[in-house]
Structure 1
């Protein structure tokens, strides 16, 4: 065995022990995330937090609670944009909304909401389609820091041009500028967009169903899970959806190999939007 391979094997052991410590002490469970992705993020964390080894990181995590939010910043993916993949939101608007109109009240779950871009996209879409006032939006994430950012609704002004273009391409019926105020290089989104939103920490790894949903949007989260954890998450979505409810996934995600695939039908195949079968 080469020296490089030996070092790699030791690092893999250290990482598994670090993730075990994170779970046992703080109940954040990353043990079944895709190893290659986790390793990449932990290496970056080790460098930027100034540790020589993953074992030293583990010791720091166990004895210094202040390190937890710093580490979670690296482990949780918080890269998004408003109306990301505009054709997905256009499909929601044109294909899913007509079905949702038939319900007197609605519940929508944005799972892994990160810093809130997808949440505000859906709230704006529902407002434009006249459904906002009958809807409760549940925005969840495992990161308290991400939830605080989502609730604040403040984004760098240099991102707004992209958000605006995405909104237009998604079939937006108004100007995105109607929903925010610009000042000091930031865009502050209207607080009325949050009047029907419940922000809550929730882990797809360890937590259970908490309401019956008509639409669940969980995009670009499961690509970081291993197969067993993907199955757990899809099972959770299945059990959380109302009869004929809808599930939207990210562009690189699908249900093809899931244990729960038979519980869904393709609704808008090209946009990874599925509908819960009636059993």
Structure 2
């Protein structure tokens, strides 16, 4: 077989927009995953990359596969959901979460944290290590939700190739490892060529399938983190999700977002920034 020629986007913009609407509707009606309120530019970027991977020319062709082949639907959902994180892959986020956990969890009796639309096991493990560094994890409940049963199973069964721990050590150092906690490997159990987070750390993590678009508030939290999924949400969906977080956040709890509140943000009056120029907010009303 010869080399695959890159897909040419020949559909007129108005036709591609209609195709995008129909594909989003098909995903919702056939599988219950609602991307209709997602930001269109992000959807088009992710789906065009998937078209090239699958050697397809149009979203209509992809829709036909989605409707009749669960494997194709799984590929689309994976492309549209939050990409999997690697440990300490975002040094800024790690530093922000370290400050957030110190500020709002230290004084709580039984603090609860929600990683909403979690980017897989390694984002959760990163936060677990940060909390363990500060002596907070043993009394903290870390609730991690993902959008599909497939992502849930992967997160629960996740392990890391042993050779990647060295790479992660460098990321850990860039994020500002706590004094006295300089070896990331100390937090892992190693079997053969695979590593997994220590049982005493994993036991503080609860995993669940949860749909930010349709599901209701399920608990009250001292810290809610949603930095990686929110950029893909359109304005109306973003407002719906922020209202959900507001209903789920304890008084004086912290909300870690992808960007700062807009000046005309309806919920902004209920929050105060914890740090200058950072999207980390304390609920004050």
**Which TM-score bucket, shorter chain as reference?**
0.7 to 0.9
Q: Structure 1 pair 155/226, CA: closer, same or farther in 2 (3 Å)?
A: same
Paired with 2:45 and 2:168, the residues of 1 have a C-alpha distance of 29
Deviations 1:29-55 (A, max 9, x none): 111111111112112222323434322
- Structure 2 residues without counterparts, runs of 5 or longer: 1-8
For 2:44, which of 39, 46, 58 is the aligned residue? Answer: 39
Deviations 1:107-128 (A, max 9, x none): 1101121222221111112222
Partner of 1:177: 185
Deviation at 1:77, TM superposition (A): 2.7
1:215 aligns with 2:223: yes
Deviations 1:206-247 (A, max 9, x none): 111110000111112111111111111111111110000011
For 1:269, which of 267, 276, 282 is the aligned residue? Answer: 276
For 1:193, which of 201, 217, 227 is the aligned residue? Answer: 201
Partner of 1:152: 157
Partner of 1:116: 121
- Kept after mapping to 1: 8 A contact 2:224/2:254: yes
Aligned length: 273
> Which aligned pairs between 1:66-145 and structure 2 lie closer than 5 A?
66-94=71-99, 96-145=101-150
Identify which range, 36-45 or 237-246, moves more after superposition.
36-45
1:167 aligns with 2:172: yes
Deviation at 1:144, TM superposition (A): 2.8
Paired with 1:37 and 1:63, the residues of 2 have a C-alpha distance of 25
Deviation at 1:81, TM superposition (A): 2.8
- Structure 1 residues without counterparts, runs of 5 or longer: none
Paired with 2:20 and 2:61, the residues of 1 have a C-alpha distance of 11
Q: Structure 1 pair 72/158, CA: closer, same or farther in 2 (3 Å)?
A: farther
Deviations 1:105-163 (A, max 9, x none): 01110112122222111111222222212111111111333322322232344543343
Paired with 2:177 and 2:92, the residues of 1 have a C-alpha distance of 9
- Kept after mapping to 1: 8 A contact 2:147/2:211: yes
1:230 aligns with 2:238: yes
Query: How does the TM-score come out when normalised to structure 1?
Result: 0.88
Identify which range, 39-48 or 8-17, moves more after superposition.
39-48
1:240 aligns with 2:248: yes
Q: Secondary structure at the match of 1:269?
A: coil
Paired with 1:83 and 1:241, the residues of 2 have a C-alpha distance of 25
Q: Structure 1 pair 122/32, CA: closer, same or farther in 2 (3 Å)?
A: same
Root mean square deviation of aligned Cα? 2.3
Query: How does the TM-score come out when normalised to structure 2?
Result: 0.86
